[in-house]
């Protein structure tokens, strides 16, 4: 889908937010390494009774017979239900740092990382059956033991996970909800940012990417202001693409159309 963006060159440069406008500036040398209303999680507080504004709309999209079979055959092996989230150690064969990807699509980044990093554990969250089925199909073909999948709302998953339990969180190309009346549906909002921070371990890393400039500015403004999160490249600056974030066919098409991609990297640092 074509998106109208202001063109900001990112080759060898970053973009800094100054007075609400984007200005090209030099990159810091960074190491390559649902939205909801405010509710509590395990860190304390009383839950709000306000209705959650979800960052996604469930649609019955096309799903192939192979993806449908994968959901039926391989879910018991790779799938995780919400009640199991409190004891993830029992789901993996090894005790290892855990990476969570929220909205993994067809699972390219998650599958690739789990394949080349067998000493780490990986967890994916996705709400669309076709993407989940595709990842299960490929995970079974490669006989992975360090990958598990939630088919659920990311907010519910994060609230069910123990605080400080994640070494990394990835959020690559979340829906930008470009129309102003839909901005409330954007995943990255202050309550969700605080929830993300609470699940990162000490020195844990949060990485995000978007090809929608206005959403990139929205995210960096919120995350730079979130207590406990430090922008690895300096406030208002974007990061270089990390090597483990594979370039998808969707991203390649966007680049051919002139879309820039904005990467963000934050480290959990408690003062």
Catalytic residues: 175
| CA 122 to the chain's CA centroid | 13
Rounded-to-integer distance, Cα 56 and Cα 174, Å: 9
Instruction: Concatenate the DSSP letters of all residues of 146-204 into one string.
Output: SEEEE-S-HHHHHHHSPTT-EEEEEEES-----SGGGGGG-S--HHHHHHHHHHEEEEE
* Residue indicated by tokens 């200005």: 23
Give me the residues paired with residue 208 across strands: 171, 264
| CA 97 to the chain's CA centroid | 17
Length of the chain: 271
Within 13 Å, how many C-alpha atoms sit on residue 117's CB side?
16
Rounded-to-integer distance, Cα 36 and Cα 15, Å: 28
Q: Which of 124, 171, 161 has its CA nearest to residue 265?
A: 171
CB 176 within 8 A of CB 186: yes
CB 41 within 8 A of CB 140: no
CB 223 within 8 A of CB 231: yes
Rounded-to-integer distance, Cα 170 and Cα 190, Å: 17
């Amino acid at each position: 889908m074509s998106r109208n963006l202001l063109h900001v060159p990112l080759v060898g440069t970053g973009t800094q937010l100054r007075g609400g406008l984007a200005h090209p500036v030099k990159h810091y040398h960074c190491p390559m390494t649902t939205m909801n209303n405010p509710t509590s999680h395990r860190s304390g507080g009383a839950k709000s009774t306000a209705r959650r504004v979800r960052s996604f709309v469930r649609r019955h999209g096309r799903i192939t017979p192979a993806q449908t079979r994968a959901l039926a055959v391989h879910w018991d092996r790779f799938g995780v239900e919400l009640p199991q989230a409190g004891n993830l150690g029992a789901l993996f064969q090894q005790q290892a740092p855990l990476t969570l990807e929220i909205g993994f699509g067809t699972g390219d980044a998650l599958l690739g990382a789990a394949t080349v990093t067998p000493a780490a554990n990986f967890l994916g969250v996705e709400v669309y059956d076709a993407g989940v089925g595709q990842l299960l199909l490929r995970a079974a073909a490669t006989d992975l033991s360090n990958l598990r999948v939630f088919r659920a709302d990311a907010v519910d998953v994060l609230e069910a996970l123990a605080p400080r339990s994640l070494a990394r969180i990835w959020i690559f190309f979340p829906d930008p909800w470009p129309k102003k009346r839909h901005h409330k549906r954007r995943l990255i909002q202050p309550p969700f940012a605080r929830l993300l921070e609470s699940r990162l371990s000490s020195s844990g890393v949060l990485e995000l990417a978007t090809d929608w400039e206005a959403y990139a500015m929205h995210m960096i403004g919120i995350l730079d202001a979130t207590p406990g999160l430090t922008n690895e490249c300096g406030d208002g600056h974007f990061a270089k693409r990390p090597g483990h974030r594979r370039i998808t066919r969707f991203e390649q098409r966007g680049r051919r159309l002139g879309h820039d991609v904005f990467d963000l990297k934050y480290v959990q640092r408690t003062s």
